[in-house]
Chains A and B, each alone.
Chain A
Amino acid sequence: MAAYARTETHIEVHKFRLWAVLGVAVAALLIQSFLPVYFPRARMLDLPLLITLYFGFSQRNPSSGLLLGMMIGLMQDSLGRSAIGLYGIAKTLVGYLASSFGSRIDVEHPLSRIGLTAAFYFFHQGVYNLIQRVLLGQHENFFSTNLGIAAGVNALVAVVLFPLLDKLRLPS
């Protein structure tokens, strides 16, 4: 899962050990399913999405970003009740786009992390709802107050979480 150095850009590409990426992904899924038992409000968090975004931004390799997004999304689907593939498709696209963004703009600054995380949260939910509507015939609102609050909360958590995950980077 190591990312590869790119010669055409000066933006730094970060590498991670494979076990670190997989371990963080599985831990995020575990926490995601475990936390709401004790803190029901934690349901608005989407840790698997934050992990997909982080590794996408850092590795800046669209192929590994989309594959990681797909793996995390399918695992999230399989631990929930929804049809398998809904989160898979949404997170595949998020992983791909986050990696593409990461190789073009600065995603290290906390403000850009807040903005991008909130934007990707809306995008992720939009894709999820669109697939539900088109493929499964289930109609969900594209925007609600709760969605806005959840986007803000996830963005703030990302600002705290991403620097912690930075410690997993291999020295360049």
Chain B
Amino acid sequence: MLAVPGRHRSVALLTFVLVAQVLLLAGQIRQDEHQVRLIRLWAVGIVTPFERAGTWTISKIRGTWSGYFDLVHTKQENGALQAELNRLRVQNTQLKSEAAEGQRLATLLGFRDSHPDAPMAVARVIASSADGSSHTFYINRGEKDGIRRNMPVITPDGVVGKIFEVFGGASEVLLITDKDSGLGALLAGTRIQGPVGGTGDPFVQMKYVSNDETVTVGQEVLTSGEDRIFPKDLPVGTVTEVKPGSPFKQIRVQPAAHLDRLEEVMVLLMKQESITKPVSTASDAAPGGTSAAATVKREE
């Protein structure tokens, strides 16, 4: 048998491992890209329980930390405060923290109540992608909760993204800012249509709008419903920059939803929807709530 020198073994192993991974990549290109791969299913299955536990722990630490911080602050300003007063302050802080969370949830609930015909599930964000180049995150709802691929994900402020992959108890959401993301949109008022796509930056871009069209900074961008994923007239964002381009205008849009501060989102449990009447805000249903997307009604 041929003896392989020790230092050549690692080179041979390296070559084997690289070739195996290149073949793995090639196999994925040939396969249906929407097929959930087994390795991904296992990895998410292993990691998700820890992420759920982490989310729970962080929320508890936040409450405790804010309570302790308030306590120290109070002690410095009022050295003579009695223990009972301190206890009540801590309790008060904890209640405030819970109330803030309650208000956020009430906003979501208000939005949900104002759209009784649109079945939706409220989900909590439990993790983001480990891949720094993609704009995705994971939510704590999955196949068991009726979530399916391509379902729209929104907040009362506007469109967030769509369900990209579904697992048992979790799902991966593709943000509209991801460079592979896209949705049908139009400009409110003029109703000029053009797809909106992510660029990998915090902004999105509206494409294929002719230089002859008039687009102004501050104009609202809504979903057009043409993509057959997002219902019509949901807020996408606001135009922040317009430049003439060749052959189309370069339109930068600031997303309406606060994509860098997502904690809870809503998944619309439907495939094709349309708007029947614009309006009804979440703030109507929930005091202190933020602006809401338009009313949606099921067509089918």
Q: Which residues of A contact B (CB under 8 A)?
A: 29-30, 32-34, 36-38, 40, 43-46, 48, 61-63, 66-67, 70, 74-89, 92-93, 96, 128, 131, 135-136, 140
Contacts and interface: CB of A to CB of B under 8 A. Distances in A.
B83 interface: no
B64 interface: no
Contact of A92 (B17, B28, B29, B180): B17
Interface in B107-132: 125-132
Interface string B152-168: 00000000000011000
A33 B47 CA distance: 9
Nearest to B136: A81
B25 A78 contact: no
Contacts of B42: 78
14 contacts: A30-B47, A33-B130, A33-B138, A34-B128, A37-B127, A61-B10, A67-B17, A80-B133, A84-B37, A84-B39, A87-B131, A88-B21, A89-B25, A136-B29
A63 B10 contact: yes
3 smallest CB-CB distances across A and B, nearest first, come from A80-B131, A78-B43, A62-B10
A67 B138 CA distance: 28
Given A33-B47, A34-B54, A66-B17, A86 B132 contact: no
Interface of B: 9-10, 13-14, 17-18, 21-22, 24-26, 28-29, 37, 39-40, 42-44, 47, 50-51, 54-55, 58, 125-134, 136-138, 164-165, 172, 174, 178, 180, 260
B91 to A, nearest CB: 25
Chain A's interface: helix, strand, loop or mixed, by majority? helix
A36 B51 CA distance: 12
B130 A76 contact: yes
Contacts of B164: 81
B43 to A, nearest CB: 4
A89 B18 contact: yes
Nearest to B263: A37
